[in-house]
Structure 1
Amino acid sequence: MSKIVSFAMEVDGNNHIFPLVFAIVENESYSSWHWFLNHVKKHVVKEREGICLISDRHSGILKVVNERGSPWLEPYSFQRYLFYFINHFYDFVNNFHDKFHNSQLKVLAYRVGSRNQVRKFNSIIEEIGKLNVQARQWFEEHSLCRWTLAHDCGKRYGLLTTNMSEIFNSVIVFLPITSCVQLTFYRLVHYFDVRRLLGSTAQAKGDMFTPHVLVKQVASMSKATTHNLKSFNRAKGILEVVTQKGKNVQVVDLEKKSCTYGKWEAYKYPCSHVLSACAYLSLNIFSVPHESYWPKTTIQGMFPISELKRKEKGRYRSTRLRNGMNIKEGKKNNLCGICRQPVHYQNTCPSRSRKRSVDP
């Protein structure tokens, strides 16, 4: 009996794969993918929004994801294509190579999709157009956000391939079904055991980053000290950063959390240009972490601050501290509006009462 193992995996903050769900099906088809992806949505993703689904371009997957009423449509999730995998039939680069059969174009195809800077993307796509106009048109027929890192808007967190999950799949696909399930189960238990220890150790040490990100940040901090900066708008945090090596120019906008280098948006942690800009303005880039890192509270509701509450109706009561200059000489007596006599007011005036009794 032939079998296909369908996997849904995530990549954690330390760049390690984490199996979420798997299923053994007879073949890859629309019905099998419809069943599998609907269960992933129902039992794993649930009501979460902003999920990035990276998959190959199998017709069954594309139909399930893009059909009307699909729970995988934006803004609930964002589909991105598997960009490159060795000997994979449905990945984007190999599809391109199967159509044009040009090794030079294949190399450029990988480069154009993996560049995180729009400037470099435009340069390479122009080079492809000079070699083969139809090849450039083939690229432009596909939505740029689904296969390029430069136009991804940070949805795929810099991941271009599913190599790690494909390697995991290649290990178990030839095993008997019982062995396949056992191996997957015990491998998952091992992941939980080892990574729980790593996570608790890092928290005890007070580490702000995972080891994978920490290595990147140390390298970026070293580069940040060599950059030259020019402030364009200090209030909004807009600066021009010139690198010492290559004299490349990048523009950082701290208010919009963007950098023309592209890595801040793609990988969600600051590049050397952003770190340099924050140091220049004496800002702490990590002052307010993501909501998922906020401490939990037992408070059920929100309580207003009394000082910020709106005042009662009527004239606003002055909080000014009065002194001797504010005291008037003598006291002004209020007079009745009808008889112009003191002591009483218009609504209690005796003259008003007599007038009512005289009128027929």
Structure 2
Amino acid sequence: MFPLTYSIVDTEDYDNWFWFLDNLKSAIGMDQPITFISDRHVGLVNNVSDVFRNSHHAICEHHMIENLRKDMKHIRNDVKKAIISAFQGATRSFRREEFNLRIADIQNYSQEEFTWVATSTPGRWVTSIFRGKRYGHVTTNVAESFNNWILEARELPILQCLEKIRKQMTQLVVERLLKAQNWTTTLTPSVEKSLVAIVKTSISLCMIWVSNDEFEAIGDHNSCTINISTRECECQAW
């Protein structure tokens, strides 16, 4: 996590979100699409598309699950767990076919919850449908960890609060700089570890050259066409 910016406002509404996002846009000065992940706060949902017109806005899986729980108060606990499990499977599905299977599972458990899920803008939280790039992130846990990190500062008067957060962030950057100097990997250790795991998994695939930059990867249960020039795969995991 790299804290980029923060602000203190009197209320979380459309005007304050617009002000915050407009200043953020001026500060980063980027024209390329950006992916935002947040809860379903109306002021934020409307403003992201108004300020960052070419960007994408995803809804946090955790917040969706909490809203789903509230809608299932009348359902038995074992059925709730099954629906939530199917919902998480739908959220993280890389293929539309897989998403449809998980949604069908929810429908088998409850037609009412199936309708709730199907009408909750899947294009904002389903990996196989979402058009932006989330790089494996489907929740706002990173932001929540930051909020917990500054809990003590949030109890202080505004100026003292801002100063304490500034000091904490400065200390964090220095600590990470010192830690990074001892890295022996090209990428960060955690990413390098994930990459090694993916490479090991790919060894079992049979690769067939289709044409030019296209290859077909054949596994035990399915196959995908990969374009190495555009870095795209039918599985949508890449």
- Per the normalisation by structure 2, the TM-score is 0.83
Query: Residue 258 of structure 1 is aligned with which of 206, 224, 232?
Result: 232
CA deviation string 1:320-346 (max 9, x = no partner)? xxxxxxxxxxxxxxxxxxxxxxxxxxx
What secondary structure is seen at the aligned counterpart in 2 of 1:239? strand
Q: Secondary structure at the match of 1:263?
A: coil
Q: Deviations over 1:160-211 (max 9, x none)?
A: 1111221321343442134432331122112321333444554xx5x43221
Q: Which residue of 2 aligns with 1:62?
A: 45
Identity of aligned residues (%): 22
Q: Distance in 1 between matches of 2:110 and 2:179?
A: 50
CA contact (8 A) 2:206 2:218 kept: yes
The number of aligned residues is 228
- For residues 39 and 114 of structure 2, the distance between their equivalents in structure 1, rounded to whole angstroms, comes to 21
Q: Which residue is 1:191 aligned to? A: 172
SS in 2 for 1:79: strand
Give 1:231's aligned residue. Answer: 208
Alpha-carbon offset, residue 56 of structure 1: 0.9
Structure 1 residue 231 displacement after superposition = 1.8
Question: What's the counterpart of residue 217 of structure 2?
Answer: 240
Shift of 1:18: 1.2
- In 1, Cα distance between equivalents of 2:208 and 2:173: 47
Q: Any runs of at least 4 consecutive aligned residues in structure 1 with deviations exceeding 6 A, and if so which?
A: none
Q: Which stretches in structure 1 are left out of the alignment for 5+ residues?
A: 1-16, 85-90, 265-360
Residue in 2 aligned with 1:98? 70
Q: For 1:140 and 1:258, how far apart are their aligned partners in 2?
A: 27
Change (3 A) 1:118 1:200: farther
The letter of the residue matching 1:95 is N
Structure 2, unaligned runs of 5 or more: none
Q: Contact conserved, 1:56 with 1:81, CA < 8 A, in 2?
A: yes
- Alignment partner for residue 112 of structure 1, among 65, 90, 95? 90
Q: How does 1:249-328 map to 2 (within 5 A)?
A: 249-255=222-228, 256-264=230-238
Does the residue aligned with 1:21 lie in a helix, a strand or coil? coil
Q: Which has the larger radius of gyration?
A: 1
Q: In the alignment, which residue of structure 1 is the partner of 2:31?
A: 48
- After TM superposition, the structure 1 = structure 2 runs for residues 3-82 of structure 1, keeping only pairs within 5 Å, are 17-43=1-27, 45-66=28-49, 70-73=50-53, 75=54, 77-82=55-60
Q: Could you list the per-position Cα deviations for residues 16-66 of structure 1 after superposition, in whole angstroms to 9, with x for gaps in the alignment?
A: x111111112222222222222221222x3233211111111122123234
Rounded to whole Å, the distance in 1 between the matches of 2:129 and 2:94 is 8
Alignment RMSD (CA, Å): 2.4
The whole-number CA distance in structure 2 between the counterparts of 1:18 and 1:110 is 27
Equivalent residue, structure 2, for 1:125: 103
- Residue 112 of structure 1: CA displacement? 1.4
Relative distance call for 1:228 and 1:162 in structure 2 (3 A) is closer
Task: Identify which of structures 1 and 2 has the higher relative contact order when contacts are C-alpha pairs closer than 8 Å and 6+ apart.
Answer: 2
In structure 2, C-alpha distance between the alignment counterparts of 1:149 and 1:114, rounded to whole Å = 5
Tell me the amino acid that sits aligned with residue 195 of structure 2: Q
Task: Tell me: CA distance 1:199–1:50, structure 2 relative to 1, closer, same or farther (3 Å).
Answer: farther
SS at match of 1:123: helix
Distance 1:180 1:222, change over 3 A: same
For the pair 1:136 / 2:127, whether they are aligned, the reply is no
Question: Which structure shows the bigger proportion of residues in helix conformation?
Answer: 2
